[in-house]
Amino acid sequence: MPRTFKIGAAQSGPIQLADSKKSIVKRLVEMMKQAASEGCDVVVFTELALTTFFPRYFTEDRAEMDKYFETEMPGPITQPLFDTAREKGIGFYLGYGEITPEGLHYNTAILVDKSANIVGKYRKVHLPGHVEFDTKRTHQHLEKRYFSPGDLGFNAWRTMGGIMGMAICNDRRWPETYRVMGLQGVEVIMLGYNTPSVNSQYNSEGPEIRKFHSRLSMQAGAYQNSTYVVGVAKAGNEDGFPLFGDSCIVDPNGHVIAHATTEEDELVVAECDLDLCNFGKETIFDFARHRRIEHYGLITEQTGVIAPD
């Protein structure tokens, strides 16, 4: 009997500066209802799903960006997501900007089960970009200015009939992200991303190669840890700044089994058998039998490159 788990990847189309969080939540609830009507067990939303990708804008006073963050989850704005999840019996992943009671700012995601309980929280570890305005870039990417590096690590939670993990955007480019969760037996890694269509430091790097790198990273992570990976974009043109879509669901063999075809709100659905993870975990990627950790020390002892003389 397959351990069926139906996944809905709810890609978001563009969010403009003028769009209210209330109007965005309405869009997300619509996709959640569509996912529930198609029998999904979980719906995966994107990174910073409630707002435009505000780290593209520089403000001297960082507190000006607090309006893009949430101080409570759920709060009045996001409560309809939890109410609908409970009513429909569907879980969800939601990416958002978090301000803690201590006033710290994180790029955060939560995992919510079918009873609308927050099962887990993740704070983005790998923050790309820079802190100060960079005159050499065609557009800014100020995540290191507005967020602190995540302090919760990479965890996995047994919920909704499987072992679930979370990551956010740039995390998908780093093999350590997947392996730490792979060492916890993860079967589904959910992640949202907001990825500019053009490299701000190398403009001839356009959407095609960037989509290739996005899929390459997620397919490799899925295969090398025998897990499903769900990557969900915020896509489209936000106030003149294009983000690519290509949301996709990758199976434990590294195959893209479903993907978006638009740069709008689009639900991508795949019925998955979580037991498809087992063969890889029990053979080629049976970590206990094959890994040789005595040779891996540099990975945690050293941050940057130290090349031979």
Contact positions vs ligand ING (CB under 6 A): 128, 169-170, 173, 193-195, 210
CB of 121 to ligand ING, least distance (A): 18
47 catalytic residue (yes or no): yes
Task: Output 119 or 198, the one with its CB closest to ligand ING.
Answer: 198
- Candidates 21, 114, 124, 281; catalytic one: 124
In this structure, what are the phi and psi dihedrals at residue 84, rounded to the nearest 5 degrees?
A: -70, -40
CB of 249 to ligand ING, least distance (A): 18
- What are the b/e assignments for 60-86, b being 16+ CB within 10 Å? eeeeebeebbbeebbeebbebbbebbe
- Candidates 21, 40, 47, 266; catalytic one: 47
CB of 272 to ligand ING, least distance (A): 24
Task: Output 240 or 297, the one with its CB closest to ligand ING.
Answer: 240
**Which residues make Cβ contacts (< 8 Å) with residue 158, sequence separation at least 6?**
164
- Candidates 169, 248, 272, 277; catalytic one: 169
DSSP-derived letter for residue 196 is B
CB of 241 to ligand ING, least distance (A): 12
Task: Output 189 or 272, the one with its CB closest to ligand ING.
Answer: 189
**Which residues make Cβ contacts (< 8 Å) with residue 73, sequence separation at least 6?**
96, 98, 110, 118
Nearest CA to 129 out of 149, 114, 111, 108 is that of: 149
CB of 226 to ligand ING, least distance (A): 24
Task: Output 68 or 193, the one with its CB closest to ligand ING.
Answer: 193
Task: Output 163 or 235, the one with its CB closest to ligand ING.
Answer: 235
Token pair, residue 305, equals 């490159």
Task: Point out which residues pair with 228 in neighbouring strands.
Answer: 188
Token pair, residue 71, equals 């101080």
In sequence order, what E strands does 113-227 have? 118-123, 156-159, 162-168, 188-193
**Which residues make Cβ contacts (< 8 Å) with residue 222, sequence separation at least 6?**
178, 189, 228, 229, 250, 251, 252, 253, 254
Query: Which residues form the catalytic set?
Result: 47, 124, 169
